[in-house]
Structure 1
Amino acid sequence: MLKKHKSYAGDGSYPTSYYAASRNISRTPVRLQGRIKTDVCVVGAGYSGLSTAIHLAEKGYKVVVIEGAQVGWGASGRNGGQIVNGLNASLATIQCRYGEDTARFIGGLVQEGGKIIRRLVSEYQIECDLKPGNIYAAYTSAHMKELEAKQALWRKYGMDDHQFLDRGALRKLVNSDAYCGGMLDTTGGHMHPLNLVLGEARAFESIGGTIYEGSPVIRVDHVAERPTVYTEGGEVSAPIVVLCGNAYLGDAVPKLVSRVMPVSTQMISTAPLGEQLANSLIPSDMCVEDVRYILDYFRLSADKRMIFGGGTVYGGTDPADVVAKLRPNLEKVFPQLKGVKIDYAWSGNFALSFTRVPQMGRIGPSTYFAHGCSGHGVTGSHLFGRTLAEAIDGDASRFDIFEKLPWYPFPGGRLLRAQYSTIGSWWYSLRDAVGW
């Protein structure tokens, strides 16, 4: 049974989650009223929008960010908090589709998003419990071979920060019998995602930026020489507009609707486990994701809760019972947590592209967009914010490569795309079940 994904209540609240309950910055939202002009208008106060805004403001641009709900209300404030260096589409897939030059270009970028996060945290003193290390965990020998091939290709394109782990080595980092081995990315990591994006908003405002919240965009005039963004209470005119609404942009820009599909993923948080139990489960205190198609991902919070996520629902609807969906997977990985109290359960949407490759481009001479990180948006969105800022500031060399990558609409159109994608995912779920 599925239920409709909740929309913004308009009352200043966040969706119920561990992150919302433990956020360390409270904001007083200011809604857009009347007409204003600025150098750049960014739509969306998540990672991609704020990364774009910060990089532009640091270059001296006057930037206004328009947010329909609140800073970090969407995927940026609900995700797994994992700094994963890579895209949803593997480098092998990218090399096969687009050639070695494109694979080398993208391979050279995948670690940049994490570096941007660390720079922002350091320079602007953002308190978000940032910690190092990301582990890819394998269930089967086939998964191990997949990781070996992935490691070889990463090395081919200049990434040497991955350590292969046999069962014993992995067990020292993640105390679970579920896995036969894995791979460690020492440049990965994890953090409190909502506190990160709230800290980025504060950083942006500290260098002269302006954010209007509770101001849903209803229309964007991207044809005019000077685009205009219209909200329920006002409008912003700027020589440059950047659209970073991702899965929550809705129908405000019809040209972008067919490019991505909202996909829901679910998360739970246990009650605090205590130092001894928590440290016995993940002695390394690193984040973990398995390498199945329908994967699980998990980590410890700063107060020693297990944050566990997984599953996908195409079309952006939510399961009726998130705990019932995720608890069996949690207890499979950690039988020690059988029957553990779950304090929080929540869902959130990310924007999935048909190719699983992020998209950047223009829908008018001065209206840019970036979306479709397809579940890898923590690092990807920070990278694309810098790339968009470069293009707007006159260096579009990296932006142009992404803009030229082909994109395809989902089969079935908007009406049937979720159903067709669900049918396709059954095949991959079967592969996961038999260990292919």
Structure 2
Amino acid sequence: MASYLDTYYTRTLRTVEPRASLSGAVQADVCIVGAGMAGITTALELLRRGRSVILLEAQRVSWGASGRNGGVVSPGYSTSFERIAQRVGVDDAKSIYRMSIEGVDIVAENIRQLDIREAQPVNGVLRVSRHENTAEMQAYQAWLAREFQYDVSFKSHEEVRELLVSDKYRHAIYNERGFHFHPLNYARALVAEIERLGGQVFEDSEVLSMDTSSAVKRLKTAHGSVSARDVVFTCGGYTGTVVPQLARSYLPISTYMLVTEPARDMIASAIRTRASVGDSRRASDYYRVVDDGERILWGGMITTRLSEPDRLAEVLRQRMVDTYPQLAALKVELAWSGRMSYARHLMPLIGSLQTGVWYCMGFGGHGMNTTAIGGRLIAQGITGETDRYRLFAPFGLEWNGGPAGTAAVQLTYWYYQLMDFMRERAA
């Protein structure tokens, strides 16, 4: 059995019991491949609609990015509304954005309905700017209220300074309906509910082959097989080669996180809010205090390299200290990486390859709400309840460009870093 990567979340897990690997032949209405947040939500939504479900995970539940991320749940996608509208039109873009709000509500309702106290939800998401763009932020605030009846507040430089004692920030948008939480405890609580409803979850059960030549699909693992009329791939950045079209449709991107040593007073000299914080740069930092203010959980940087860089903790710590020089003496307790999947268009990949074969992946950079709505859309598509998933068809399985595409992504990220730097210098 593969072990969890050592992260803040694994060290603070409420439950740690492993689940058995698949052995022998089993069958269900739906087989879901990948027990990250998208797969777990899809399974739960299907079970609530009366379908039988088998969930296969190559490692352990939420072993990938779903259990190693910043834990922030807020509306939106990894690309802008304007870019979405360019591809699908304004009306459909609004429908798609409403779904991102629905995704936030799905997570909040699961926590409330299942009383997942170990998820430790904390309301409040701050999106801070490191350059002058008051007019842009206030226009965004008005747009959310007008088009979606979604209220956020604008924070002036003085108000931001009371919360975040840093010379880097100018102003912010504060979203009280957004929240942050412990994603791995949340995921494991959902899996417990899946099993309570009769779903079967198998870990250490990588899918090695699939036969889709008949109405009933058959998937094989090292020691067993699953027969199901519908199959859903929700593997994210760890999608293998069983379905080549999926493997060619995303770019695996790594991001990095750290958690600091406990230092309540030092941290309070810099960060005086329990809200999560993310800046508006494309090459952004995102962070929040955890353990009731004892530590900082800090994330930043993206790269196409899939191995952890040397001196990972120090590289991230320097980003933190650049923002808050008063934290120069704060030490890093642990640092880790996570692999996300990005499509070239930066939108989720949600749809159907053929009758009975579905996919729900590509949530990199904004996944806590979009995995939730993605799981619901696929469940609704399988049961015939709605065909809302078709709104994502224009964001199809575009070829990732191979090695050239990976290089282009890295160069684009470096370009964004340079543009962010120049914009701050001009402010």
TM range (shorter): over 0.9
Q: Could you state the TM-score of these two structures normalised by the residue count of structure 2?
A: 0.95
Pairwise CA distance, 1:307: 0.3
Are the aligned partners of 2:276 and 2:287 in contact in 1 as well (CA < 8 Å)?
Answer: yes
Structure 2 unaligned residues grouped into runs of 5+: none
Q: Deviations over 1:167-205 (max 9, x none)?
A: 111223333222010111111110111111111111211
- Which is worse superposed, 168-177 or 59-68? 168-177
Letter paired with 1:133: G
Aligned residues: 422
Equivalent positions of 1:103-142 (< 5 A) are: 103-126=93-116, 127-142=118-133
SS in 2 for 1:318: coil
Pairwise CA distance, 1:214: 0.5
Residue in structure 1 matched with residue 366 of structure 2 by the alignment: 376
Q: Deviations over 1:252-307 (max 9, x none)?
A: 22110121111000000001122x44444332200010000110000011252100
1:285 matches 2:264 = no
Are the aligned partners of 2:345 and 2:395 in contact in 1 as well (CA < 8 Å)?
Answer: no
Residue in structure 2 matched with residue 250 of structure 1 by the alignment: 240
Whole-angstrom distance in 2 between the partners of 1:379 and 1:369 = 17
Letter paired with 1:430: L
Letter paired with 2:308: D
Residue in structure 1 matched with residue 357 of structure 2 by the alignment: 367
Whole-angstrom distance in 1 between the partners of 2:135 and 2:225 = 54
Residue in structure 2 matched with residue 18 of structure 1 by the alignment: 8
SS in 1 for 2:119: coil
- Which is worse superposed, 396-405 or 243-252? 396-405
Pairwise CA distance, 1:159: 4.1
Whole-angstrom distance in 2 between the partners of 1:28 and 1:266 = 26
Q: Could you state the TM-score of these two structures normalised by the residue count of structure 1?
A: 0.93
Residue in structure 1 matched with residue 406 of structure 2 by the alignment: 418
Whole-angstrom distance in 1 between the partners of 2:70 and 2:100 = 18
Pairwise CA distance, 1:39: 1.0
RMSD (Å) for aligned C-alpha atoms = 1.7
SS in 2 for 1:111: helix
Whole-angstrom distance in 2 between the partners of 1:330 and 1:24 = 29
Residue in structure 2 matched with residue 351 of structure 1 by the alignment: 341
1:295 matches 2:295 = no
Pairwise CA distance, 1:315: 4.9
Are the aligned partners of 2:38 and 2:371 in contact in 1 as well (CA < 8 Å)?
Answer: yes
SS in 2 for 1:177: coil
Pairwise CA distance, 1:71: 0.5
Whole-angstrom distance in 1 between the partners of 2:210 and 2:142 = 45
Q: CA 1:95–1:330 in structure 2 vs 1: closer, same or farther (change >3 Å)? A: same
Residue in structure 2 matched with residue 30 of structure 1 by the alignment: 20
Whole-angstrom distance in 2 between the partners of 1:370 and 1:46 = 11
Residue in structure 2 matched with residue 58 of structure 1 by the alignment: 48
1:401 matches 2:399 = no
Q: CA 1:152–1:353 in structure 2 vs 1: closer, same or farther (change >3 Å)? A: farther
1:331 matches 2:346 = no
Whole-angstrom distance in 2 between the partners of 1:159 and 1:90 = 19
Q: CA 1:324–1:280 in structure 2 vs 1: closer, same or farther (change >3 Å)? A: closer
Whole-angstrom distance in 2 between the partners of 1:354 and 1:344 = 31
Structure 1 unaligned residues grouped into runs of 5+: 1-9
Pairwise CA distance, 1:332: 1.6
Residue in structure 2 matched with residue 6 of structure 1 by the alignment: none
Whole-angstrom distance in 1 between the partners of 2:375 and 2:185 = 18
Residue in structure 2 matched with residue 173 of structure 1 by the alignment: 163
Equivalent positions of 1:162-311 (< 5 A) are: 162-274=152-264, 276-303=265-292, 304-311=294-301
Q: Deviations over 1:101-136 (max 9, x none)?
A: 121111211211111111111222221111101010
Are the aligned partners of 2:351 and 2:359 in contact in 1 as well (CA < 8 Å)?
Answer: yes
SS in 1 for 2:148: coil
